[in-house]
Amino acid sequence: MTTTEIKTVLDVQDLKTQFDTQDGMVHAVNGVSFHLKRGEFLGVVGESGSGKSVTMMSLLRLIPMPPGEIVSGQAYFGDDDLLSIDLEKLRTIRGGRVGFIFQDPMTSLNPVLTVGYQIIESLRLHTKLAEKERRPRAKQLLDLVGIPDAETRLKNFPHELSGGMRQRVMIAMALACDPEILIADEPTTALDVTIQAQIIAIVRDLREKLGTAVIWITHDLGVIAGLADRVVVMYGGQIVEEAPVAKLYSNPQHPYTEGLLGSLPRLDQKGQELINIKGTPPNLYEFPTFCSFAPRCPYVMDKCWEENPPLMDLGEGRKTRCWWDLDNERPRYGS
Amino acid sequence: MAVDTAGAPAVPVPSSDEALLSVRNLKKHFPIMKGVFRRQVGAVRAVDGISFDIRRGETLGLVGESGSGKSTTGRVILQLENATEGKVLFEGVELTETTGNKLRAMRPRMQMIFQDPHASLNPRMNVASIIGEPLSEHNKAKGPDRKKRIEELLSLVGLEPKHANRYPHEFSGGQRQRIGIARAIALNPDFIVADEPIAALDVSIQAQVVNLLEDLQHVLGLTYLFISHDLSMVRHIADRVAVMYLGKIMEMTDVDRLYNNPKHPYTQALLSAVPVPDPEIEASRERVILEGDIPSPANPPPGCPFNTRCPAAQERCVTEVPEWRELEPGWWVACHFAETESAVLIDSVI
């Protein structure tokens, strides 16, 4: 068997981001490392405040600085470290080789410019297309994301479109320059389920056609179950588990993932008991010196309070940040 | 026997003996005003002729997409909005005709839990005043009795007595929702409208609040109207489910029948669109992908409200409003073709 090595398009190492606020330092991202292979679909799951959005925004230096500060880390995109290259160069990457879709399509489109103008602007900045080729390309992009009557839609302002349509426009804009990576931050959270299903179908279809690598950030374990190849679970500004999608759902290795799956009601099950995860997500005013899930964890031991576990490699692409071996019901020290 | 838009008097009714609350041909139209003289030029038909019963002790799930009229339904039932037409009967008393002190005397028996625990608690009142306000308003408890009752309520919802003197901003979203729930049950209501009570909460907190609502239902014998867009959670908590679309109920029956074998094409499409947290199921699942968006309730399509998006729509669906009819005992559907093959879009929604 020949396993040709698939190229890694993004390699993030030890990313730390913090915010200096009135109430003190907020440690939003505390040493996040992950990679993305070409054409891969990576799901990033976490609750609000888990650091999933800040991580992705930090990569493109889109967080407001100050109060934000990227304290450490590298993010290799090809040979470039996105965190240290000069801003001019980063600008050609943002919206060009890396596309971004935000949660709220209303606030991320400019309300006083037509949809067509905004797509063409991105084509003008990031492609070598001649001026008269841009409009047909913009129309083609709207066709691609399933917007009917694209010619008319180009002349519309964002407020003339529904939420689902606006999100399609955002996807079209993100795809305008054939990005190598598409980062989607909760792109369907503000939409109704039937519209969400439309968007998911489009993204799935586009992925097959274009082979773009995707990072899909969500709080909904349901949405990425059918989309992702690999999933990263974030909690308290850290990655607590990483696994191929099937393994994560069938055999979670971190108590938080296990709890999250147990607390989710399922459409296909009746009379299921919902497991409470007691307590609340951590506040991030202190840098974690112990396991941030310890206060809520049913398996908590003394060790968890003494030392924050590292992200341990379990093989087969699985990693967990936990001292407790869930499968064998015993502590997991020194692996 | 047809529910048509003109509001025919003969309304078929899903009745039951133990109905705590009955809704009959309820409509709520919000006028659209225009021009200097504020003339009415149209109406948003938020709720457009719905009828159902809620049985004592049950949880009725009311589901639908945004703009389907589910929140308005909840508000009109509690008389927070006046109905444009139709009746709401609470133990036989017609709330739509009741006003003033008589209505006020009924209010303690029906309460509401709101969606946003940040907006529904007064930031300048401490927890004791928030929970105690209904007690004082309706003269239910004073002095030490009131204090005792507040402590009792706090422990019922899983908070501690020491929390009584704190302010809403000191609590997390889940805890705030608990305060809202304590306020809602303060007057020992029979009936609670919970309007998207978990939508604003983190995933790991949602289960806590839903489990609390279930526990309280058992302990206090509550009846819920649980309004939600989360179809998975509704399957978990509800006994029966009504599916709304554009101001009308499309289908209503008990959870098992609705989720296992939905009759209405809209219910099928809606359920098949809900992702299941299981990669194996997701990989093999059939889906109905609806085209387009929900039409504006200010300008609903003629005939069946779903005809613009329905993959099974035929000519009759555009010309004739489907009758709200009982297909089998306890199974209500508004679709011309509900019993035929043509309304079956997929074999299984999961």
List the 213-232 stretch of B: residues with Cβ below 8 A of A.
229-232
List CB contacts (< 8 A) between A221 and chain B: 203, 277
Rounded to the nearest angstrom, the gap between the alpha carbon of residue A192 and the centroid of all alpha carbons in its chain is 20
In this predicted structure, what is the pLDDT of residue B1? Answer: 39
Nearest CA-CA distance, residue A310 and chain B, Å: 23
* Residue B293 in contact with partner chain A when CB distance is under 8 A: yes
Please state the ipTM of this predicted complex.
0.83
**What φ, ψ does residue B137 adopt, rounded to 5°?**
-55, -40
A94 secondary structure, DSSP code: B
Task: Encode B62-83: b = buried (16+ Cβ within 10 Å), e = exposed.
Answer: bbbbebbbbbbbbbbbbbebeb
Tokens of A195: 């519209």
**What φ, ψ does residue A128 adopt, rounded to 5°?**
-95, 15
User: Nearest-CA residue of chain A relative to B283?
Assistant: A226
| Residue pair A263/B204 in contact by the 8 Å Cβ criterion | yes
| Residue pair B109/B191 in contact by the 8 Å Cβ criterion | yes
Yes or no, beta carbons of B208 and A165 under 8 Å apart:
no
Tokens of B160: 């501690």
**What φ, ψ does residue A327 adopt, rounded to 5°?**
-65, -45
- The helix or strand, by DSSP H or E, that contains position B152, with its residue range, turns out to be helix B143-156
Q: Is B119 exposed, middle or buried (0-12, 13-18, 19+ CB in 10 A)?
A: exposed
How far is the C-alpha of B77 from the C-alpha of B281, rounded, in Å? Answer: 39
| Residue pair B20/B90 in contact by the 8 Å Cβ criterion | yes
List CB contacts (< 8 A) between B283 and chain A: 226
List CB contacts (< 8 A) between B203 and chain A: 47, 219-221, 260, 263-264
Tokens of B275: 């992702």
Size of interface A-B (CB pairs under 8 A): 131
| Helices within chain A (DSSP H only) | 52-59, 87-93, 115-126, 131-144, 150-153, 163-175, 193-210, 221-225, 245-250, 255-263, 302-306
Yes or no, beta carbons of A246 and B174 under 8 Å apart:
no
B21 secondary structure, DSSP code: E
List CB contacts (< 8 A) between B159 and chain A: none
* Residue B277 in contact with partner chain A when CB distance is under 8 A: yes
In this predicted structure, what is the pLDDT of residue B7? Answer: 39
List the 82-141 stretch of B: residues with Cβ below 8 A of A.
none
User: Nearest-CA residue of chain B relative to A266?
Assistant: B232
Yes or no, beta carbons of B229 and A192 under 8 Å apart:
yes
How far is the C-alpha of A136 from the C-alpha of A151, rounded, in Å? Answer: 9
**What φ, ψ does residue B62 adopt, rounded to 5°?**
-115, 110
Yes or no, beta carbons of A270 and B256 under 8 Å apart:
yes
For chain B, which ranges sit under pLDDT 70?
A: 1-17
Query: If you search the block for the tokens 């129309």, which residue do you land on?
Result: A139
Compute how many other C-beta atoms are within 10 angstroms of the C-beta atom of residue A172: 27
How far is the C-alpha of A178 from the C-alpha of A210, rounded, in Å? Answer: 8
In this predicted structure, what is the pLDDT of residue A333? Answer: 74
| Residue pair A66/A20 in contact by the 8 Å Cβ criterion | yes
In this predicted structure, what is the pLDDT of residue B10? Answer: 43
Rounded to the nearest angstrom, the gap between the alpha carbon of residue B172 and the centroid of all alpha carbons in its chain is 25
| Residue pair A190/A202 in contact by the 8 Å Cβ criterion | no
Task: Please state whether the peptide bond connecting residue A281 to the residue before it is cis, i.e. omega within 30 degrees of 0.
Answer: no
* Residue B174 in contact with partner chain A when CB distance is under 8 A: yes
In this predicted structure, what is the pLDDT of residue B188? Answer: 92
Beta bridge partners of A20: A25
- Probe site for chain B from A229, A254, A268, A270 (most B CB atoms < 10 A): A268
List CB contacts (< 8 A) between A259 and chain B: 204
Query: If you search the block for the tokens 């490699």, which residue do you land on?
Result: A313
- The helix or strand, by DSSP H or E, that contains position B289, with its residue range, turns out to be none
User: Nearest-CA residue of chain B relative to A249?
Assistant: B278
How far is the C-alpha of B195 from the C-alpha of B74, rounded, in Å? Answer: 7
**What φ, ψ does residue B80 adopt, rounded to 5°?**
-80, -20
Compute how many other C-beta atoms are within 10 angstroms of the C-beta atom of residue B91: 13
Rg over CA atoms, chain A: 21
**Helices B265-273 & A193-210 angle (0-180, nearest 10):** 60
First CA to last CA distance, chain B: 34
- Put residue A49 in one of left, alpha, beta given phi > 0 → left and psi -120 to 50 → alpha: left
Total count of residues recorded for chain B: 350
Yes or no, beta carbons of A272 and B229 under 8 Å apart:
no
How far is the C-alpha of B154 from the C-alpha of B179, rounded, in Å? Answer: 8
Beta bridge partners of A315: A318
Task: Please state whether the peptide bond connecting residue A66 to the residue before it is cis, i.e. omega within 30 degrees of 0.
Answer: yes
Amino acid at A198: Q
Using CA of residue B65, residue B226, residue A257, residue A297, what is the dihedral sign? positive
- A201 → closest Cβ in B259, B289, B350: B289
User: Nearest-CA residue of chain A relative to B281?
Assistant: A226
Compute how many other C-beta atoms are within 10 angstroms of the C-beta atom of residue B255: 19
Rounded to the nearest angstrom, the gap between the alpha carbon of residue B250 and the centroid of all alpha carbons in its chain is 14
* Residue A226 in contact with partner chain B when CB distance is under 8 A: yes
How far is the C-alpha of B113 from the C-alpha of B210, rounded, in Å? Answer: 12
How far is the C-alpha of B184 from the C-alpha of A105, rounded, in Å? Answer: 35
How far is the C-alpha of B250 from the C-alpha of B242, rounded, in Å? Answer: 7
List CB contacts (< 8 A) between A164 and chain B: 293
Does residue B246 sit in helix, strand or coil? Answer: coil
* Residue A240 in contact with partner chain B when CB distance is under 8 A: no
Does residue A139 sit in helix, strand or coil? Answer: helix
For chain A, which ranges sit under pLDDT 70?
A: 1-4, 105, 334-335
* Residue A87 in contact with partner chain B when CB distance is under 8 A: no
Which residue, A46, A45, A47, A76, is CA-closest to A59?
A76
Beta bridge partners of A37: A8
In this predicted structure, what is the pLDDT of residue B248? Answer: 94
- Give the strand pairing for B248-254 and B240-245: antiparallel
Yes or no, beta carbons of A193 and B229 under 8 Å apart:
yes
Yes or no, beta carbons of A198 and B290 under 8 Å apart:
yes
List CB contacts (< 8 A) between A270 and chain B: 235, 255-256, 259
In this predicted structure, what is the pLDDT of residue B17? Answer: 58
pLDDT digits (tens, 9 = 90+) for B24-59: 999 999 998 888 888 888 889 999 999 999 999 999
Compute how many other C-beta atoms are within 10 angstroms of the C-beta atom of residue A27: 24
How far is the C-alpha of B133 from the C-alpha of B135, rounded, in Å? Answer: 5
Tokens of B314: 């035929």
- A194 → closest Cβ in B65, B275, B277: B65
Yes or no, beta carbons of B207 and A47 under 8 Å apart:
no
* Residue A201 in contact with partner chain B when CB distance is under 8 A: yes
- Put residue A288 in one of left, alpha, beta given phi > 0 → left and psi -120 to 50 → alpha: beta
Rg over CA atoms, chain B: 21
Tokens of A147: 């917007």
Which residue, B2, B12, B85, B11, is CA-closest to B47?
B85
